[in-house]
Amino acid sequence: NTGDEGGQPGDDLVAWAHARGDEVVAVPARLEAELAELDPDEAALFRAELGGAEPSLERFIAAAYSVLGYITFFTGDFKSSESRAWQLPRGATAKQAAGRIHTDIMTHFVRAEVVTWRDLVELGSFHAARDKGVLRVEGKDYVVQDGDVINFRHTG
């Protein structure tokens, strides 16, 4: 927890940790509590006025994933716009990612159709991503990247 203003005692600890290469998330708890009481749109406006910082919880989760060596990839039923996030150790392959979902998908893996989440959001669909040339077809040894959206093709 830190004060809500700069120049707080916690700033020295943050600087020390960063100098060592450690991950630190300073949490202005009082400010976060006040923002949590606001309407989400008002809170976003207030955050923008403060410099656009992400909520501390989101920054904490991202830092924890980084320290633990995890990434997130997504799958979904792209006809119904339903999606799911999956955790995976950084450096894992597409075949290992398939195994997180179901061993049959891993065993009968053929290929992975991959697009970044940003491209998918911008373009709106796998079909549009394919048309724009940003959808990639990857094999079992492809190293999954944080934020990949993957459609696994398998024979099972």
Q: What are the pLDDT digits (tens) for 131-153?
A: 999 999 999 999 999 999 999 99
Domains and CATH numbers, the chain: 10-67 (no CATH), 69-154 (3.10.20.30)
pTM, entire model = 0.74
Residues 24 and 56 sit within 8 Å (Cβ to Cβ)? no
What single letter denotes the amino acid at residue 135?
A: L
Render pLDDT for 74-111 as a digit per residue (tens, 0 to 9). Answer: 998 766 678 899 999 999 999 999 999 999 999 999 99
Q: Which residue in the block uniquely carries the two structure tokens 């996030």?
A: 85
Kindly give, in sequence order, each residue whose CB lies less than 8 Å from that of residue 112, ignoring residues fewer than 6 positions away.
Answer: 94, 97, 98, 137, 138, 139, 140, 142, 150, 151, 152, 153
